[in-house]
Structure 1
Amino acid sequence: MDDAEIIRQVLAGQHHRYADLVQRYQEPLIHFLRRILNSDEDILDCAQEAFVAVYRNLNRYSQDQPFRAWLYAIARNKAIDIVRKRQREITVVLDETLEDLRPRPEEIWFEKEQASYLAKILNELPAHYAQALFLRYHQDMSYTEIATVLQVPVSRVKTYLHRGKEKLRQELERRDIHERDGRRYLGSTISG
């Protein structure tokens, strides 16, 4: 059953049908939120808040845009609010007890070694490039859906994707050259 039909049924009083939408989008939404938030607790809280907000505002949903994009846009806004709140709460203490805020390996969406290497590089890209690339190539969203999620025009989505792929290519080339040079250096040291 498509999203529009489920929404129609929920709005007609079959509120239990909303669980179908939650089940359909919960896992992909959590993967998307991992691109923005670092803490599993924040990710799960944000996803839950987004689903509640969507449910409360379901009568405002317009079928002019895909439901998934509308949900992701709401979740992204809530995630940005959490990031801003956390930034205000953080007091900078420079010592060894600081937690490493980079994503943990199990949070990387690729399971293979080569894919996790690519994911690490993606994490180092500016957030708008990484989010656009993730939504396009991992969530298989259209330009229009991505524009809705990121709240930018479609032309900017195309720019983000083009520049993001270019930065990714440059970084892969730079790292490949650096690693090959490093191996040659190690090889000459060992044999010498």
Structure 2
Amino acid sequence: MGQEIGEKIKELRLSQKMTLKQLSEKTDLSIGYLSQLERGLTSVAISSLKSIANAFSVDLSFFFDPPVANENRILRSFEHKVSLVANSRFIYSNLGNDMECENISPFMITILPNHTNEELVPYSHSGEEFVYVLEGILTVFVDNERYELYPGDSIHIRSELKHNWDNHTSKLVKILCTYSPKILDLRENLKQKNHNI
């Protein structure tokens, strides 16, 4: 995946007639690092990729390929693919397969910091969901109550309750989230959640 992202960065940079030095100045990333990234010799953190996307005025989703159907029972860590990027801050990786289970949708979600004053609108839908915090501090709203969840904390709710969550810190948040019943259309679910696709 690193090589594909690097190729896309180089393609964007050349199409916008930008030098590595200019990109470095716009992103606060070193020329050496950007050069290695373009050649697929190093990996990139999501926060750095977001800076690069901003420098090129493209959405973060530009750097990820559309998901392909997964029919394997076992999904290795190196096989994780980004399923969707919403609002340039919510990065969904599907951890399940698309074949055997019809009852749950498991995702790992990386949430970039929210630097906007955008109001978080609680919403509801059928089913239930479980969230486990892997990294960072997740802000959760359920029935007009606000909670801060830390690594190792979890929440399990009926989705009919008005709820929503976000990252109000300056660092990444990573969560494991399962929805039941299985989400057939993640895009539609995110529109309800007020996350732009």
Higher strand share: 2
Q: Same fold (TM over 0.5)?
A: no
TM bin, normalised by shorter chain, reads: under 0.3
TM-score, normalised relative to structure 1: 0.27
Task: State TM-score, norm by structure 2.
Answer: 0.27
